[in-house]
Amino acid sequence: MNKLIKIINFKILGDNRGSLISLEKNIDIPFEIKRIYYIFDTKNNVSRGYHAHKKLEQIIICVKGSCKFILDNGFQKEEVTLNTPDIGLHIKNNIWREMHDFSQDCVLIVIASEHYDESDYIRDYDTFKKSITTI
Ligand code: T46
């Protein structure tokens, strides 16, 4: 069975002034980058996500603060806390995701393989479960 939580470790290019991470298409990010967005100022006790994507793949980086992701492939669920900018959570298609426990200062940068397309979203859990036949 494939592992649900896929973490990519990024190299920190630091010197005595501080740290820097550089992400390059097809080197650090294993797909063509078509979109980047960021999520910040998530209100207290708010959860986000609750959907899967038919085609979209994403790498999610928590550059500040922390939050928890629950991933679900229709058969099993796994949880991971993101709280450091030197790792990326790689979420492939057909994975249901929920995001919880955002710290007040949490900033997520998301690198996406496709342009925004609402028709790529599955926002109903039963529909998601029915769409999954194998892993
Ligand atoms: C995901 C998690 C990690 C756009 O207009 N363009 C965009 O590129 C995105 C991502 C969203 N939107 C609109 C759609 C909604 O009206 O922004 C609003 C909030 O989007 P959503 O409710 O999908 O946000 P989250 O935080 O639940 O989920 C987002 C991504 O949509 C999703 O792909 O994996 O972040």
The structural domain count of the chain equals 1
Nearest CA to ligand 1 atom 29: 49
Helix, strand, coil percentages in the chain from 3-state DSSP, rounded to 5: 5, 40, 50
Percent of the residues in the chain that have a pLDDT greater than 90, as a whole number: 92
47: domain CATH number?
A: 2.60.120.10
In a domain, 2, yes or no: no
pTM comes to 0.95
| Per-residue pLDDT tens over the stretch 60-76 | 999 999 999 999 999 99
Query: Is 60:106 a contact under the CB 8 Å cutoff?
Result: no
| CA–centroid distance for 42 within its chain | 15
Nearest CA to ligand 1 atom 31: 49
| Per-residue pLDDT tens over the stretch 44-64 | 999 999 999 999 999 999 999
Query: Is 110:30 a contact under the CB 8 Å cutoff?
Result: no
User: Which residue's structure tokens are 């939050």?
Assistant: 67
Determine the pLDDT at residue 135: 57
In a domain, 1, yes or no: no
Number of residues written out for the chain: 135
Distance 50 CA to ligand 1 centre (A): 10
Q: Is the pLDDT of residue 98 over 90?
A: yes
Q: Residue 97 corresponds to which tokens in the numbers above? A: 């995701």
Domain range holding 98? 7-13+21-133
Tell me which of 36, 48, 114, 128 to substitute to probe ligand 1's pocket, judged by most ligand atoms within 8 Å of the beta carbon.
Answer: 48
User: Which residue's structure tokens are 């450091």?
Assistant: 84
In a domain, 30, yes or no: yes
SS3 of 43, please? coil
Determine the pLDDT at residue 2: 67
